[in-house]
Every structure is written in C-alpha cells, then in structure tokens.
A and B are shown apart, each in its own frame.
Chain A
Amino acid sequence: MFANYLAGRIAQLGIVLLLVSVAVFSIMHALPGDPVQLMLSGAESGSVTPERQEQLREEMGLNDPLHVQYGRFLRGAVTADLGTSVRLRQPVLDLILDRLGSTLALSLGGILFAVIIGVTTGVMAALKQGSWIDGFSRVLAYAGVSLPLFWLGLLLILVFAFWLPWFPPAGSAGLRSLVLPSLSLGLLSAGVIARLTRASLLEVLVEDYVRAAWAKGLPRRIVYLRHALRNAFLPVLTILGLQFGAMLAGAVVTETVFSRPGLGRLVVSAILWKDYPLVQGIVLFMATAYVLVNLLVDLLAAWLDPRIRDATPA
C-alpha cells in the first residue's frame, strides 16, 4: 500500500516540477522584451554595437525557436547544468551551491525557533484555555500574518543589536549572527504553528483513547506527552513542510535585511542585474527544494499515520 502511495506522490511531483519549469521558462521568454536589450540597458547600452548584440543573442541561443530553447533548458536542468551566469561568468549551479549552506542554516534556524515557540505556546494554550498564554497565542498568530518580515527584522536589529548590544546587526560570522535572522523568520511561522498545535491538541484530548488513558489512572505527563501530543503533532508536521516554503521566501527578504550572503540575496541581485540564467536557475532550484521537502514531510506523515498511508493519493 505504501508503495502505491509513494509512486502516486512521485508521479505528482514530476508533473508539478515539469509545469514549474514550463512556467519559469515561458514567463522569462514569452514576455515582450529582448533579454539582450534588457541586459545591456545599463550604462553600457550605447557602447554595444548591433553586431555584438546579435552575437550575444546567438551565443545565448536566443535565435532558436522557443521549443528548442526550452528543450535545452530542460535537458540542462535534468543533468544539473543550469547554464552560466551572464554577470558573474560562473556556472549557475556552482553559485547556488556556494550560497546554499548559508540559506539552509537560516531556514533551519527559522524552523527551529518556529517549532520551539509555536509548539510550546500552542500546547500551553490548549491546556490552559482562556488564560493569558491562550491570548498570547492569538496575538502571535495575528502578528505572524500582519508583521512585514523586513520590518520585524529591523526592529530586532534595533532592539537586540543597537539598544542592547547582544547580537551583531548584520553579517554571517558565527552562530551569534544567525540568531536574529532566524528569530525573525521563526516568529512569523510560530503563530500558525501555535494555533494549529492548540486546535489539534484540543481535538485529540476529547478522543476515547485519551479518556481511556485517564481512566487507567496514568499520570498527567504520560497522558499528555505519550497519548495526546504524539497524535496531535501529525497535522503540525504537515504544515512544517509548508513553513519551509515560508522560510525560503523569507530568506529573500531576511538575507537583505541582515546583509547575509545566500540564495535569496543572490536572486534579488540577479533580477537587478537582469541575469536571466541565474534567476531561472535559482527559482527552479528553490521551487524544487520546496516541493521535495513537502514530499518528504508528507511521506513522513504517511509513514507515521496508517490512515494516510493506506489511502490512495488525491
């Protein structure tokens, strides 16, 4: 059964990635505007002769029919060849792998903060409904969807780097520099996780098996931790995959706020440089990473929960 589920999900993944590649490719190529013109529309535009422009177009393969260009792009992507950055003149994949570690550290730090703050708040809110911590979980959820990430980051810098000089305001040297950016990312997701943990735990607490556990006279700690929380955590696990996407998206902003090198900052630079192969490569890479992480999370959830495992994928 699990093999069926796995096969279904992997087929789904293939379709999604294919469509993502078509979307990225067609938006970049089918829109009006000539990449070469755009690329050169900086200071150097006057100094480039039409012949040189034509030569560039030929070099970049822009004179071939669209489907040929897409075929080349896709073949490259599959064989891990994402082309060469126009601006930095290095293979796009090398540039991505160079900065991957930094972005990954940031995202994991963000997830860590989100889970610690979110799950703790959520569990306490569920166990003490109507208390101040329940109210706090609501505020956290509202703040999470309403606070602009870049502003939250700047507020953290202002308070914890300038007013209280505990952490460096920017840069990527050492673990200390990771705290504030991860915290700003984590805070945004903590609210969602807290509310979900709360709702899910409340749902589980009235289940028969929890009542049975109480009836057996098990201590509170065992009932909550072993019987209730373990089951309540499944929906939370699923949303963690989606939150990873929020981390990737957030990295685009946060890396700029904290002047950290990373994929997010690179993609913004690439857009400003009009470096198409680089933009294409990074977006495709990030989308793939996001889809893969979600697949892994879903598989993990299915492995943990026979109800999903034995159902056919939608």
Chain B
Amino acid sequence: MTVAGRTLTPGFIAGSCILAGWVLLAIFAALGSPHDPLVTVSGAREAPSAEFWFGTDRLGRDVFSRVIYGARVSLILGFISVAIGSVLGSALGLVSGYYRGAVDTVLMRIVDAMLAFPGILLALVVIAALGPSITNVMVAVGVSTIPRYARLVRGTVLTVREQEYIDAARLLGVPDLRIILRHVLPNTAIPLLVLSTLEFGHAISVGAGLSFLGLGAQPPTPEWGLMVAVGRDVLGRAWWISTFPGLAIFTVVMATNLLGDSLQEMLDPRLKGR
C-alpha cells in the first residue's frame, strides 16, 4: 500500500491499526465495556467465561471492563509524558544547538549527567519528591525523557544551523526566536515524531511499572500496572487477573514500537539502525 508516494510497511499498518483500536476503545470505553469497572458484578475470582471474558477479580469486578477503562489511564499517561519530555527537551536542544558555546557546554553536561544513569532512577527521584500518584508518574516519566529529546534536537539543529538559508535569515535581521521557530524547528519534526512515538510506548510501560510498584495509580483506579500488582498475590489461583492487563500493556507498547520503527524507515532512511 502506498500513501503520498511512500510505501507503508507491514509494521506501520499493524502498529497503527492496533494503536487506533486501543484509542477507540479508550474513547468509547463506556460503550465497549460490558460492565461498570468499579462495581462488583459477580463472585470473586471467577475464571474467564462467556459472560466475563477475562474473569473477575478479588472484588468480583469484571476484568475485561477494567482493562478497557485502563486504556484511558495508560494512553493519557503516554500523551502527557511525551508532551512534557518533547516540549522541554526540544526547548533545551534548540537553545543548546542554536547558540552553542558556553550555553551548549553547560546544558549538554547536565544532559550527559542525566543520561549517565538509568532513566528509572530519575523517575524514582521525582516521585520520591512529589509523592506517589498517577499524575506524578506522568511528570516523572516525562522529565526522565527530557535528555533524550534534548540530545536528538540539538544534533539536528547543529546541522541545520549551518545551512545557507539560516545565514540569509540572520543577515536579513530576522530575530533569533523567529529563526528558531520558523526555520530551525520544522527541520526537527521528523526525528521528533519518530522519537515521540517510541517514547510513547516506553512511557506507558515505565508508567505501568511504577504503578505496579505502588508508586503510581492508587486503588480502585482501573490502571493496568496496578491490576497486574493486585493479581500477583493470587497468581496461582487466578492467573487471569494479572495476565490480561499485562497483555494489554504489551500490545500497546509493541504497536508503538512497530509504528516508530516503521516511521523511521519510511520517513528518514538515514536514521535507520540508530
């Protein structure tokens, strides 16, 4: 299949279909879920059946309905984290790459230090300071991705700013801010889109992990990581309580990875293999 002169890879089609499916389920959760996710509708820990596709949990709530409502929490988490990381990271990268010199050195040293230890530690520190909640998880995950965005955007800006049209604009007396926003920023769009797609899935996975640890969503929120954590204690007796929400996370993250890699391949072959 081709769209706008580009061949759509199978990964792109599969990834965007799965993701679109989840987005629709999240938006129309009330229509798609057979039961109220917060209400006891049956006996506790009933195995999957025709009535309860994914079984019921400890409190007799329908796991299928909870998984569908959980899509809302996770997708919102993905969007907010990506928004925080990409906006702040790009701003740092733009400033650093455009002005270079001392500003660049200082900013990039900080970014290097942030990259020098695992992102989850950074997220943990932020949560430790703000307290456990799903909102703070969004902030923490978003903040922990800032250095990756900053690096990427800075790299692109460094090559763009050597172009003649930038010199021309500067000679014409166009203000820096306008050059950055009008002429430099658009060039970073494609790498940013690719990174954001990959980070979207990553954020959902890390966010669910933090909720699994008890540092994010709190009961009775239907959140995937939290649901997996609750099911962990009864795994031997009721495998479905943990398994299905985990499967949901896996499909979303897998889809975004397929989509991100395909976008990279389709839009910018030079980025391949990075």
Is the beta-carbon distance between B235 and A154 smaller than 8 angstroms?
yes
Q: How far is the CB of B16 from chain A (nearest CB, A)?
A: 16
> Is B253 a contact of A16 with CB atoms below 8 Å?
no
B residues near A174, Cβ cutoff 8 Å: none
Chain A contacts of B31 at CB under 8 A?
A: none
Q: Shortest distance in angstroms between B178's beta carbon and chain A's nearest beta carbon?
A: 33
A279 at the binding interface (Cβ < 8 Å): yes
Interface residues of A (CB under 8 A from B): 15-16, 19-20, 23-24, 27-28, 31, 33, 38, 142, 145-151, 154-155, 157-158, 162, 169, 199, 245-246, 248-249, 252-253, 256-257, 267-268, 270-272, 274, 276, 279, 283, 286-287, 290-291, 294
A272-B215 in contact (CB<8A): yes
Q: Which of B112, B113, B125, B249 has the most CB of A within 10 A?
A: B125
B131 at the interface (CB under 8 A from A): yes
19 contacts between A and B (CB under 8 A): A16-B112, A19-B110, A19-B113, A146-B250, A148-B228, A148-B246, A154-B243, A248-B121, A249-B121, A252-B213, A253-B209, A268-B215, A271-B127, A271-B128, A276-B128, A279-B128, A286-B118, A286-B121, A287-B121
| B44 in the interface (beta carbon within 8 A) | no
- B114 closest partner in A (C-beta): A23
Across the interface, which residues of A come within 8 angstroms of B118, CB to CB? 245-246, 248-249, 286, 290
Contact B109 A148 (CB under 8 A): no
Q: Is the CB of A249 within 8 A of B205?
A: no
CB distance from A219 to the nearest CB of B (A): 32
Cα-based distance from A31 to B125 in the complex (angstroms)? 11
- A27 near B124 with CB under 8 A, answer no
Q: Is the interface of A mostly helix, strand, loop or mixed?
A: helix
A256 to B210, CA, bound (A): 11
* Interface of B (DSSP majority class): helix
Cβ–Cβ < 8 Å partners of B172 in chain A: none
Q: Which residues of A contact B212 (CB under 8 A)?
A: 150, 253, 256
- 12 further A-B contacts with Cβ under 8 Å, apart from A31-B130, A146-B205, A272-B215, are A19-B109, A20-B117, A23-B125, A24-B125, A33-B130, A148-B208, A158-B239, A246-B118, A253-B213, A257-B232, A274-B128, A274-B131
Q: A148-B250, A271-B127 are in contact. Are A291 and B257 (CB under 8 A)?
A: no
Do B257 and A151 touch (CB < 8 A)? Answer: no
Q: Whole-angstrom distance from the CB of A110 to the nearest CB of chain B?
A: 14
CB nearest neighbor in A for B120: A249
A-chain residues with CB within 8 Å of residue B232 when the two chains form the complex:
154, 257
Is B5 on the interface with A (CB-CB < 8 A)? no
Q: Is B214 an interface residue (CB 8 A)?
A: yes
**A286 and B117 within 8 A (CB):** yes
B192 at the interface (CB under 8 A from A): no
| Chain A residues with CB below 8 A from B113, complex form | 15-16, 19-20, 23
A268 touches B214 (CB 8 A): yes
Closest residue to B229 on the A side, CB-wise?
Answer: A150
Q: Which of B109, B122, B254 contacts A146 (CB 8 A)?
A: B254
Considering only CB atoms, which chain B residue lies closest to A291 in the complex?
B116
- Contact A150 B239, beta carbon cutoff 8 Å: no
Q: How far is the CB of A292 from chain B (nearest CB, A)?
A: 11
Q: How far is the CA of A256 from the CA of B229 in the complex (A)?
A: 10
Highest count of chain B CB atoms <10 Å: which of A16, A268, A271: A271
B47 close to chain A: CB less than 8 A: no
- Shortest CB-to-CB span from B19 to chain A, Å, is 13
Look across to chain B and name the residue whose beta carbon is closest to the beta carbon of A19. Answer: B113
User: Inside 8 A of B201's CB, which chain A residues have their CB?
Assistant: 146
